């Protein structure tokens, strides 16, 4: 997990079988895996009917990857998001975070992983209105009892990293939507997670602010080495990722790599659209 910030040690769960299998599946010289999904299934029983939300999907996310997950309603996208976020357990298969097989963890162990090793970014920001920028970034540390000077300084560094160094004492009501999402992104990084899990992170933002947030994700991925898994329904947003994983009917439909040339075209197209929007607004 490359970063210029000092990482916290990851959790280790005794008896994490499956890690060796995931590591063995990687060829020599490949990057370590942030997460590995192996034949994952999830079934629900609704009114005596079994719903097969996931039907055995497999893919890896190496450290430093930037993956967009897409799919229509009923594809299993939300179910996969819940599993990756350790909010639910699979019916079968393996889900590895680093070397830990979270598919075999208890609820308490899953809560610990959620708290310390996954960074969440939500569509609606989920900030606490009474807290400042720095205090909102500190929230995950508060629940772990880590609120010393070192931790506060780390939160200040993260605020600066996302471009909020001049707004450390502002509260959410004093920030734009894009600035609030920047706070949420900084909060997601505070525990140096295996990956940042972004759920429709640009869904509530206009075109200009969407471009700003996607550029921030680009920088975090390229310059900081952060692993990003982004769930989106927008093709133009997914075009900014390095890979696009598509689900359909609970199955992996495709796993496509976006070439750097295509990503550059997507960036320029979105930036041009923003410039045109600004020009229209100024002429009105």
Give me 100's structure tokens: 């830990």
Confidence of residue 29 (pLDDT cuts 50, 70, 90): low
Tens digit of each residue's pLDDT (9 = 90 or more) over 77-89: 999 999 999 999 9
For the cut 50, the answer to whether the pLDDT of residue 16 exceeds it is no
What pLDDT is recorded for position 148? 86
Model pTM?
0.86
Interior/surface letters 94-117, b for 16+ CB within 10 angstroms, e for the rest:
bbbbbbbbbbbbeeeebebbbebb
Q: What is the pLDDT of residues 219-238, one digit of tens each?
A: 999 999 999 999 999 999 99
Of all residues in the chain, what percent carry a pLDDT higher than 70?
Answer: 90
**Rg (Cα) of the chain, in Å, rounded?**
19
Mean pLDDT score of the chain: 88
Report CA-CA distances (Å) from 34 to 59, 63, 170: 11, 5, 34
Helices (H), the chain: 19-25, 77-84, 107-117, 133-142, 149-161, 177-189, 207-222, 235-238, 260-283
Query: Of 142-146, 186-190, 250-254, where does mean pLDDT reach its minimum?
Result: 142-146
Q: Average the pLDDT over 7-23 and give the result.
A: 40
The whole-angstrom separation of Cα 65 and Cα 249 is 25
Q: What is the arithmetic mean of pLDDT over 9-23?
A: 40
pLDDT at 141 over 80: yes
Top-confidence residue, 1 or 43: 43
Locate tokens 């063995």: which residue? 24
pLDDT at residue 71 tops 80: yes
Instruction: Pull the structure tokens for residue 191.
Output: 């525990």
Kindly state the average pLDDT of the residues 98-121. 92
Mean pLDDT of 178-204: 94
Q: Which pLDDT value is given to residue 12?
A: 36
Distance CA 131, CA 137 (A): 9
Distances in Å between the Cα of 195 and the Cα atoms of 84, 95, 126, 279 are 10, 14, 19, 37
Residue 194: is it exposed, middle or buried by C-beta count within 10 angstroms (0-12/13-18/19+)?
Answer: buried
Q: What's the pLDDT tens digit per position in 257-280?
A: 999 999 999 999 999 988 988 888
Sign of CA dihedral 4, 212, 34, 142: positive
pLDDT attached to residue 47:
85
Question: How many Å apart are CA 64 and CA 224, to the nearest integer?
Answer: 9
Contact 60, 84 (CB under 8 A): no
């Amino acid at each position: 997990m490359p970063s210029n910030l000092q990482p916290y040690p990851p959790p280790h769960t005794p008896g994490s079988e499956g890690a060796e299998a995931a590591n063995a599946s990687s060829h020599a010289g490949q990057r370590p895996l942030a997460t590995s999904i192996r034949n994952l299934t999830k079934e629900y029983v609704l009114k005596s009917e079994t719903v097969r939300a996931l039907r055995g999907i497999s893919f890896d996310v190496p450290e430093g990857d930037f993956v967009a997950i897409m799919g229509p309603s009923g594809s299993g996208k939300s179910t996969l998001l819940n599993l990756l976020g350790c909010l639910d357990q699979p019916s079968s298969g393996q889900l590895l975070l680093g070397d830990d097989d979270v598919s075999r963890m208890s609820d308490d162990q899953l809560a610990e992983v959620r708290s310390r090793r996954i960074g969440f970014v939500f569509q609606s920001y989920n900030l606490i209105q009474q807290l400042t920028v720095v205090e909102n970034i500190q929230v995950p540390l508060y629940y772990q009892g880590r609120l010393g000077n070192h931790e506060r300084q780390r939160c200040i560094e993260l605020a600066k990293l996302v471009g909020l160094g001049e707004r450390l004492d502002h509260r959410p009501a004093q920030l734009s939507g894009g600035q609030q999402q920047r706070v949420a992104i900084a909060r997601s990084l505070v525990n140096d997670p295996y990956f940042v899990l972004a759920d429709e992170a640009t869904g509530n933002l206009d075109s200009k602010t969407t471009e700003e947030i996607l550029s921030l994700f680009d920088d975090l991925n390229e310059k900081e080495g952060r692993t990003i898994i982004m769930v989106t329904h927008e093709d133009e947003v997914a075009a900014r990722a390095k890979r696009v994983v598509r689900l359909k009917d609970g199955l992996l439909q495709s796993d496509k790599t976006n070439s750097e040339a295509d990503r550059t075209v997507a960036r320029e197209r979105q930036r041009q659209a923003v410039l045109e929007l600004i020009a229209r607004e100024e002429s009105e």
